[in-house]
């Protein structure tokens, strides 16, 4: 068994709690689904948000996924000039038998520009 990282990102259309819940729910759900991840195999999840997000924590939006026993933490993304606004990034640490090359990373909505090489998957 290995611990692997699954990366993903999305962009909010607006800094509101419903939009955060929608965007994080969409991204996290698809990340778990396409990588066949069950909640009990998740080691932890790190969420980052750009400094222009103030509505709710991304981890709060993730609570709808029955992750009460999974350690979740949020951090602020570096405030780099010209960076994508209203961006949420997720790094899931998961126990799996998969090789790193078998992990599918996911970039949705406006965050596709961050990793066009992975966004076509």
Kindly list the catalytic residues. Answer: 7, 63, 74, 77, 89, 107, 115
Which tokens belong to 24? 């994080």
Residue in 23, 3, 17, 40 with CA at minimum distance from that of residue 90: 23
Helix, strand and coil content of the chain, in percent to the nearest 5, comes to: 35, 30, 35
């Amino acid at each position: 068994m290995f611990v692997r990282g699954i990366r993903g990102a999305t962009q909010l259309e607006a800094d509101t709690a419903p939009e955060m819940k929608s965007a994080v729910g969409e991204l996290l759900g698809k990340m778990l689904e396409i990588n066949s991840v069950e909640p009990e195999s998740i080691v932890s999840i790190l969420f980052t948000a750009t400094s222009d997000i103030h509505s709710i924590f991304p981890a709060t939006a993730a609570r709808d996924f029955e992750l009460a026993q999974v350690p979740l933490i949020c951090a602020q993304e570096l405030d780099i000039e010209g960076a994508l606004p209203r961006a949420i990034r997720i790094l899931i640490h998961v126990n799996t038998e998969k090789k790193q090359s078998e992990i599918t990373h996911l970039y949705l909505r406006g965050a596709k520009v961050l990793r066009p090489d992975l966004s076509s998957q």
